[in-house]
Structure 1
Amino acid sequence: MLFTEVVETSAAVGATRSRLAKVGALADLIRRTGTPAVVSFLVGVPSQGRIGAGWRTVLDLDVPPAAGPSLTVSDVDGALGAYAAIGGRGSAARRVEALRDLFSRATAAEQDFLKRLLTGELRQGALEGVMLDAVAKAAEVPGEVVRRAFMLSGSLPATAAAALTGEAALAAFRLEVGRPVRPMLASPAESLPDALAEVGEATVEHKLDGARIQVHRDGDVVRVFTRTLREVTKTVPELVELVRGLPCDSVVLDGETLALTDDGKPRPFQETMSRFGAQDVRELLLSPFFFDCLHLDGRDLLDEPLRARLDALRQVAGDHVVPGRLRPTGEEAAAVLDEALAAGHEGVVVKSLDSAYAAGRRGRAWQKVKPVHTLDLVVIGVEWGSGRRRGLLSNLHLGARDPDGGPPVMVGKTFKGLTDELLAWQTRELLARATEKDEWVVTVRPELVIEIELDGVQVSPRYPGGVALRFARVVRYRPDKGPAEADTIDAVRALLPGPGPAATAGGA
């Protein structure tokens, strides 16, 4: 297949806001090509993952475009694979030459696509959810089967390739110790009584203000992953040592880790996250708290009810189980919430004891209860400060995720809650992501997720989504989350006053 067909489909997908139209265009291309690399390209990453092409190196390329399309998908995929393999003395120059050779064979439209692909700016709207629906449509298999296979394989291209051979190939994917699965997520609840009433027989657990981790152990081999499935094993030796000492041969645990003060209170979230990049691991020790067990000694537990997974968890994790209470009364659940808040945590999570582990899904079987409204939004722009903040990027432009794959939808601005330290940090980070600048506003690549506390949401014609945040203030940046995990415009609209639940969005 010619690469230009991928570029044309990308443009068509980006030109429509209709999810059905996006899915249809993508499915048609997948059906015609059957090449896994196409799936990677259209969700905005090379099939090899990050290949080390520097943002400035790519944007500085000035190569006359080819007069007509001749590149195939295989040509491009092979060239990017070869680029990623270049190393050793003189590799920088050889890498530039390899890119120049590829770009010389590309038309102007193909060059533009390649630049956005390599710099992470490919915003054609083919987010994972849209692409999974397209794969299911192209292969004529149930969407749920495709989504489950993806959560277990961790690879969209591999999932697509399996889907095109039939449903049996998708069913062959299993939990593999050492390969992370997408974490199950909690939906917001309006109140603790509402969550208890909806969930039924439940466990109520502390919602810790830490970093999500997933640990895998096979014999003496232990691997630790973040919520984005990034491996951080080498930076957390104390967690590795602890898991290696658990009474089992193999296990997969889901939980949180956080740094504690001497009196057992959680340290600020940023301090916990800083450990994943620390050079001296003695700087700050992390404490793990596990709340789920997905595998134990050869037995996969994903499809078991939570009550069975909790039995396995208590058997293997002992004192490292997150605090909580099984089958509490309303008063007992309220006491758990009070205890969590008094301990410095965010609230509680109410979980159905009948629920299977829905990897990667935000369902109603797990519901989080927090005392304040928060949203995880994407920074899409920022204004220069004035007065004491002159020379610093201050007033943030905030966007909610479009669930149909479009660019983030602006819902408000804020400069409140920013410390001097955070102002200096965000100025550096946002300038490094700038795509346009004028005297007042800097537009940035929508990469950074920020947690915003707010008093509510109101109808407003000022922003494209028709809603605006009320009294928004910064809680913290979320380096553990990518833009695909930000709250959607639907979650923002759910906070509008009126009949029906107005859920508290954001968080875990």
Structure 2
Amino acid sequence: MLLDELVTATDAVTATRSRLAKVDALAALLVRLEPDEIEPAIGLLVGKPRQGRLGVGWRGMQSVLATAEPAEVATLTVAALDAALERLAAASGTGSNLERGRELHDLVAAATAREQQFIARAVLGEMRTGALEGVLADAIASAADRPAASVRRAAMLQGDLGATARLALTGTPDELDAVGLVVGRPVQPMLAATASSAAAALEVTGEASVEHKLDGARIQVHRRGDDVRVFTRTLADVTHRLPEVVEIVRGLPVHDVILDGETLALDDGGAPRPFQETMSRFGAEVARETLLHPWFFDVLHVDGRDLLDEPLRARLGELERIAGPYRIRGEVTADPAVAERVSREALAAGQEGVVVKAIDAPYAAGRRGRSWVKVKPVHTYDLVVLACEWGSGRRTGLLSNLHLGALDPVGEFGPPGGFVMVGKTFKGLTDELLRWQTERFPQIETRRTAGTVFVEPVTVVEIAIDGVQRSSRYPGGVALRFARVKGYRDDKPPAEADTIQALRGLLRE
């Protein structure tokens, strides 16, 4: 297939807000792909090339775009683009930067003007077509004539939408339905909705396990025999960074297991250290003095037995049996007073709040439903940095005031999948964070004015707020109240940022 056909399809998707129209346009594209083109095409559509990191940044891409004259006729194929990305990803060692630059130039020069822009967006993770993975999953189901639920479940369990698309489009229904948990292959984590109090959350869930919400980094741990693998919430393998977690899991009385939990740093008294300390250690490529302690709140597989579809009550029983000393604290209750007490105890212990989990619900991998509801006394939201202003006074020469955006997945206030500005803040920024962002943000700069550096919308930051207020200043109609920085979320991609719709929901509260 010519890349031009992929570009035409994404233009059609971008041009409509109708989910059904998006699905139809993508399905019509998918049925025309050759088997070997399916996985590369899916990666390009969601801005996640199957090769992973390519070593190409915004500056490098802009330099090539400025010098590579576009082709007049579309001849570049999806397969040829995928092969070029493979060579880019493989470049390493002495001279690799020059080799990568030549390869990128040759690739871009073979593309038409609009194909060049498509390649740049795909490589830099800036696709804004509204073809989020949920829409694409429905398109795969339509193109393959398979139930959407089967496609979504397979994608969740494989952790790879491209591989699921190929199986759905080229395999049998039985092969798709046979996709299951595989120890060592990460699955998309279950996500939580939000509520203003533990009692309010209990009204949604019914009888529930009310558990402490730790201010740590989400981990998914797989063990087969002595082989232990640790994955982040984005399914990145960080085993080499967490030898202490590997050692603890190796000591559990089990042969095969998949555990879901958090890891965080503790002080000498056993209380949680600040989130920034956990993330600094979590992001280190080599072990450091600070140790991270694992705490688990769910188990998905034990010794050949998949637990995804079993109720939480059964999963917690297994978790207690195999990892009792490392289980997150909580109580099962249907009493709002008990739920509120557990919430107060969690806060007194230095935790963020609680997560209220329906006791008879299965594990819904990759989904944010009503079965898990998180409660934090101070509203905290994960937003995306859109720009940063140069500071004044003691912050002269440092990038300080952040421009913050919320995700707009449906395109209610702009392009689908884009970000809507909701406020600014410089509060909560430590000297260390100021130095970090002054070094980091020019590396992902898209443009600048005299006082502001505008950046790629790829950096997630956790912001605490006292609420929101109506505002005509910002396109989403809301502005943050008393926003302050809690810390950067290196473990979260921008696609998992909180939405403008969630912030607008605070107006109703």
TM-score bin (small chain)? over 0.9
Residue 506 of structure 1: aligned partner: none
Report how far residue 151 of structure 1 moved.
0.8
Partner residue of 1:505?
A: none
CA shift, 1:216, in A, is 0.5
Q: Does 1:451 align with 2:462?
A: yes
Give the Å deviation of 1:408.
0.7
- Aligned match for 1:231, one of 222, 225, 237: 237
Q: Which residue of structure 1 lines up, in the alignment, with residue 47 of structure 2?
A: 44
Q: Which runs of 4+ in 1 moved over 6 A?
A: none
Instruction: Write the letter of the residue equivalent to 1:415.
Output: F
**Superposed CA offset, 1:479-501 (max 9, x none):** 1111111111111111113xxxx
Aligned letter for 2:326?
H
Shift of the 158–208 alpha-carbon distance from structure 1 to 2, 3 Å rule, reads: same
Which residue of 1 is the match for residue 160 of structure 2?
155
Trace 1:76-155 onto structure 2 (pairs within 5 A): 76-155=81-160
> How far off its partner does 1:274 sit?
1.7
The answer for unaligned runs of 5 or more in structure 1 is: 503-508
Could you tell me whether the CA contact under 8 Å between 1:17 and 1:406 is conserved in 2?
A: no
Q: How does the TM-score come out when normalised to structure 2?
A: 0.93
Using the size of structure 1 for normalisation, the TM-score is 0.94
Distance 1:279 1:380, change over 3 A: closer
Letter in 1 for 2:42: V
Question: Per the alignment, do residues 406 and 282 of structure 1 end up closer, same or farther by CA in structure 2, a change over 3 Å counting?
Answer: closer
Deviation at 1:343, TM superposition (A): 0.8
5 Å matches for 1:474-493?
474-493=485-504
User: Are 1:58 and 2:69 counterparts?
Assistant: no
In structure 2, how many angstroms separate the alpha carbons of the residues matched to 1:381 and 1:17? 27
Residue by residue, what CA displacement relative to the aligned partner does 1:2-21 show, whole Å, maximum 9, x if unpaired? Answer: 11111222233334444333
Q: Is the 8 A contact 1:45 1:117 kept in 2?
A: yes
Counterpart Cα distance in 2 of 1:91 and 1:425: 27
CA deviation after TM superposition for structure 1 residue 33, in Å: 2.0
What residue in structure 1 maps to residue 413 of structure 2?
A: none
Q: Distance in 1 between matches of 2:403 and 2:20?
A: 29
Secondary structure at the residue paired with 2:503?
A: helix
Residues 196 and 377, structure 2, Cα contact 8 Å, conserved in 1 = no
Partner of 2:309: 303
Of the three residues 267, 270, 274, the one matched with 1:268 is 274
Matched, 1:192 2:198: yes
Partner SS for 1:496: helix
1:54 Cα offset (Å): 4.2
TM-fit CA distance, 1:88: 4.8
Do 1:55 and 1:118's aligned partners in 2 also have CA atoms closer than 8 Å? no
Q: Matches of 1:170 and 1:459 in 2, distance apart?
A: 47
Change in Cα spacing, 1:38 to 1:338, as seen in structure 2 (3 Å) is same
CA contact (8 A) 2:256 2:303 kept: yes
* Structure 1 residue 457, shift from structure 2 partner: 1.9
Confirm or deny: 8 A CA contact 1:447 1:483 kept in the other structure: yes
User: Separation in 1 of the partners of 2:494 and 2:211?
Assistant: 27
Q: Which residue of 2 aligns with 1:471?
A: 482
Judged with a 3 Å threshold, the aligned counterparts in structure 2 of structure 1 residues 416 and 19 are, in CA distance, closer, same or farther, namely: farther
Match 2:376 to one of 347, 370, 375: 370
Is contact 1:204–1:328 with CA below 8 Å preserved after alignment? no
The Cα shift of 1:470 comes to: 2.0
Residue of structure 1 equivalent to 2:339: 333
CA distance in 2, matches of 1:452, 1:406: 20
- Measured in 2, the distance between the counterparts of 1:122 and 1:466 equals 25
Q: 2:28 corresponds to which letter in structure 1? A: D
CA offset digits 1:56-84 (Å, max 9, x no partner): 33322212221211111111112222332
Aligned residues: 498
CA distance in 2, matches of 1:82, 1:419: 41
Residue identity in the other structure for 1:383: E
What is the DSSP-based 3-state SS (H/G/I as helix, E as strand, rest coil) of the residue aligned with 2:427?
coil
Corresponding position of 2:358: 352
**Hey, what's the Cα distance between the residues in 2 that align with 1:33 and 1:159?**
14
CA deviation digits over 1:233-262, x for unaligned, max 9? 111111111101100111111011111001
Give the one of 404, 424, 427 matched to 1:413: 424
